[in-house]
Amino acid sequence: MRRDLFAMPPGIYLDGNSLGVMPHAAREAVLRRLDEWQRDAVEGWDRWFGLAESLAPSIARLVGAHPHEVIATGSITANLHSLLATLYRPQGGRRHLVATSLDFPSDVYALQAWAARYDAELRLIPSRDGHTLHEEDILAALTDDVALALLPTVLYRSGQLLDVAGLTREAQSRGVLIGWDAAHSVGSVPHALHDSGADFAVWCHYKYVNAGPGAPGGLYLHERHHDRLPGLRGWWGHDKGTQFEMAHTFRPAPGAGAYQLGTPPILALAALEGALSVFDTLSLEEVRARSLELTLHLMALVDAHLPELRIVTPREPARRGGHVALVHREAQALSLALRARSITPDFRSPDILRLAPVALYNTEAEIEATVGVLRELLDTGAHRAVEAGGLVT
């Protein structure tokens, strides 16, 4: 779609759902900020002071929110703790938390910590097949003793896309606060967080947004909650107009900006700045359409040529995100063998091979070549000879 905007690594890269490739604009933005640091030293803060806030309109467009409802800061886990500290207030009979048995572990760790703090239960919605969720099971878990639920927009293992608007509406009709982990959808799937009424959301920018390893995360808080003081407070969340008065009374910045804690990492924000400039020129609807085309093409080729691999990603366009999950008992060996042949997939223990044909830079030809190599490996058994080594992600 816009492969020319990216510095593609050698070979075929199908792991953009773990770490996106580098946009040329990200490199240029970091170099520009480095030059400012070299030239201006501390006086560079005249330019950098409001950098995170300046990115809010671009981020808001990605997630369907107002600029004052989003901020680039922290990480998913840190931002989740910050929002739980603000919103999770067990009252009366409502005290328990709900997530899913297929959530990314870090989300579960954070929720466990808050459940323990308030002597509450963290209830994990089970999966019937170990890969996907039934939305009726989610609704059944939203009982009248639940205070807050956190759900993934896209399940990180299988690529299932949940009905954000529908589940948000149902949760709130039952008196349950609802938040979303959008790590595996932002930059791949259009969002409407504000219009859906979602209470909060967290996500990263290093997957489909391509802002680099460890890029600052994203935080969304619906404006109806902006009258609350942040449960966790730091000096960078202070009102910018009086921040350098160094008063010991916290005056929150307006909106989501109040959820910043320490001094922001300017060079990391610069990479995000460059990455977002790519999306500023694109139609998110066209990105989504291209993503669906590529994943459909991949699934059709797997059906036709790789019957040994079982697709566990939902087939319906409205129920799948940007990657395809394939189950095989030798998935790890296949992943390693692909990497040895300059094709980068993703492995998830114990038996899932994830392939992410990213709309912005992958092609049908790359998908076809990957399927061809997988067929060769399965026919020859060559993958069994590959030595495991290094980090398998």
Which residues are bridge partners to 320 per DSSP?
160
How far apart CA 184 and CA 290 sit, in angstroms, is: 16
- The three-state DSSP-derived secondary structure of 249-316 is CCCECCHHHHHCCCCCCHHHHHHHHHHHHHHCCCCHHHHHHHHHHHHHHHHHHHHHHCCCCEECCCCC
2, 27, 104, 250: the active-site residue = 104
Q: What are phi and psi of 7, to 5 degrees?
A: -90, 90
Residues 232, 260: contact at Cβ < 8 Å? Answer: no
Residues 49, 60: contact at Cβ < 8 Å? Answer: no
95, 123, 157, 207: the active-site residue = 207
Q: Tell me if residue 181 is catalytic.
A: yes
88, 156, 200, 206: the active-site residue = 206
Q: State the helix-helix crossing angle for 56-63 and 266-279, rounded to 10 degrees.
A: 50
Residues 282, 123: contact at Cβ < 8 Å? Answer: no
Closest CA to 80 of 44, 50, 105: 105
288, 290, 341, 354: the active-site residue = 354
Q: Tell me if residue 354 is catalytic.
A: yes
How far apart CA 10 and CA 343 sit, in angstroms, is: 9
103, 181, 199, 346: the active-site residue = 181
Residues 155, 184: contact at Cβ < 8 Å? Answer: yes
The residues annotated as belonging to the active site are 104, 181, 206-207, 354
